[in-house]
Structure 1
Amino acid sequence: MDHEEVLRLFDRQMRREVPADHPGVRVEDIGTVVRQSGGPADWNGVVFSDIDESTADAVIAEQVRHYGALGVEFEWKTYSHDRPADLGERLVRAGFVAGEPESLMIAEVAPQTGAVELAHGLRLVDATDAAGIELAAQVHDEAFGTDGSRLKQQLLDRLAHAPDSFVMTLALAGERPVSAARIEFAPGVDFAGLWGGGTVAEFRGRGIYRALVAHRARIAAARGITYLQVDAMPTSRPILERLGFEQLSVTTPYVWKA
């Protein structure tokens, strides 16, 4: 994989030309940043910036004013190859709180589509309705120990307005959901994003994560997608590296609360 070429394609398709999550939000390219704005339950934030040392502080202040007027918190999603080099430090000085860095991992779809055999009693099913989204949110709560209510509402909105933009998959042990992950699509792009992949503690280490990657890769292949993209936590990065994913950058969320 040509890292520089793929990263340029990723920046153009997934950041500079990113579409809105659903009709209830808007994406604006105002020259210095590309940002998404919506309501309190939506994902609000900056996905791309074209700034340097001389313009960064003023542009950051402008985004704080914009989202502050909307009364919502927002995220500035930075990448390690963004300019200026001290962008993260400038965001912290402006009142943002840094989240955990994640590795931008990318792989070609075709090599990821091979079958993965699950342990006896486990199976994968795609969730196609609100009940499936509810089960996925329950798994999220149990696996990550966080409140998945906001994510659930975002996915329900997408299910209502753009059902082809994602596929949610559950891993079931009998009838109990024990893992959940989704794949997200944007029209006209070469990348599909893999998100979630949380597994409840007692079922970890059984190959579910690998099976979910392969399952979603086959969904991507059926849609003609070229690359899979993951924002990987340290726990999942080694698994993805063994599968052939390569790190192209590091992404860090900086959150500003209204």
Structure 2
Amino acid sequence: MSTRDLETGSERLREVLEPPRRAFIPLPDTQVIERPGWLQLITPSLRQGGLNEVAFSALDEKEADAVIDETIETYRRLGLRFRWSVGPDSRPADLAERLERRGLRRNETLGMIRETADAPASSEGDVTVEQVDEHTVEEYSRTMAEGWEMTDPAPIIAFNRLVLAHPAGRHRLFLARYRGAPAGTAGLVAFERSVYLLGGVVLPTFRKRGLYRALVTARLHYAAGRGIPFATSHARASTSAPLLERLGFETLCRFPMFTND
């Protein structure tokens, strides 16, 4: 499919919603539960987040409450932090309200897209961005764990080592430094027509210094250099979405993302 084909609204929306659901690399203990209208991940070894989510749910209205209760109880019993994405193609229509009634915390999310051509110029001076390799993956992981308030970085270090070694090679990790100090992290997953931007975080001490912009720019340049025409993101309305909008991203949809923390 060409860039021109993706100019239609339906194709662009599909690119924002569907490929990101396949942006995961399973760990040995990851359960991938997939059936028509359902995609769920359960990973007991990542208790504080990651690979624990309901990525897609289109439920029969009569069965929805039972499925919701069973799903929440599974994560609760295992002591796992998880998220539940309620995209515009989710069902039933009141799925978000049903999740709210069960005490899950709602975050408004924007499905965003941008062409990778004509990306802003790379930053210069105090801020640098580098691709992560086996020599910097532990530094990257510890920075990421601090940014996302993970008390134990060991599981995420192991996971990121797996990401770098995975034969599919679709994932790339980026470490931002401020005057040489590790200050922010981000990743991408490459698909045929888009890269999905995820995991961007800047440590509080280094915010408002252009690090988030630099991480986005580096990933746009990565995609453009490989002929991938679009970048997509599921961005929180209250944090990263306004920054992405200023960098040329367009909002195609809004939807709630629920968490149990």
Residues 1:50 and 2:96 are matched in the alignment = no
SS of the equivalent of 1:219 reads helix
With over 3 angstroms needed to count, the CA separation of the structure-2 counterparts of 1:62 and 1:236, relative to structure 1, is closer
Aligned to 2:183: 178
With over 3 angstroms needed to count, the CA separation of the structure-2 counterparts of 1:247 and 1:49, relative to structure 1, is same
Conserved 8 A contact 1:185-1:191 = yes
- In 2, the alpha carbon distance for the partners of 1:196 and 1:73 equals 16
**Among the aligned pairs, what percent are the same residue?**
30
Write the deviation string for residues 151-187 of structure 1: whole angstroms up to 9, x where unpaired. 434323323435723222122234311222221235x
Cα shift at 1:7: 1.3
Aligned to 1:244: 248
Of residues 3, 11, 23, the one that matches 1:5 is: 11
Of residues 105, 109, 117, the one that matches 2:116 is: 109
CA RMSD between the two structures: 3.1
Aligned to 2:169: 164
Aligned length: 249
- In 2, the alpha carbon distance for the partners of 1:162 and 1:201 equals 34
- In 2, the alpha carbon distance for the partners of 1:31 and 1:197 equals 31
With over 3 angstroms needed to count, the CA separation of the structure-2 counterparts of 1:96 and 1:205, relative to structure 1, is same
Conserved 8 A contact 1:116-1:210 = no
Write the deviation string for residues 80-103 of structure 1: whole angstroms up to 9, x where unpaired. 55332321221234x452243222
Cα shift at 1:38: 3.3
- In 1, the alpha carbon distance for the partners of 2:13 and 2:148 equals 29
Mean Cα deviation higher: 146-155 or 213-222: 146-155
Q: Which runs of 5+ in 2 are unaligned?
A: 1-6
Conserved 8 A contact 2:128-2:214 = no
With over 3 angstroms needed to count, the CA separation of the structure-2 counterparts of 1:90 and 1:246, relative to structure 1, is same
Residues 37-76 of structure 1 correspond to what in structure 2 (within 5 A)?
37-41=42-46, 43-64=51-72, 72=80, 74-76=82-84
With over 3 angstroms needed to count, the CA separation of the structure-2 counterparts of 1:197 and 1:20, relative to structure 1, is closer
Conserved 8 A contact 2:129-2:174 = yes
SS of the equivalent of 2:159 reads helix
- In 1, the alpha carbon distance for the partners of 2:216 and 2:126 equals 19
Conserved 8 A contact 2:122-2:217 = yes
- In 2, the alpha carbon distance for the partners of 1:19 and 1:26 equals 15
- In 2, the alpha carbon distance for the partners of 1:62 and 1:28 equals 13
Write the deviation string for residues 74-122 of structure 1: whole angstroms up to 9, x where unpaired. 43222255332321221234x452243222221122233x42232x233
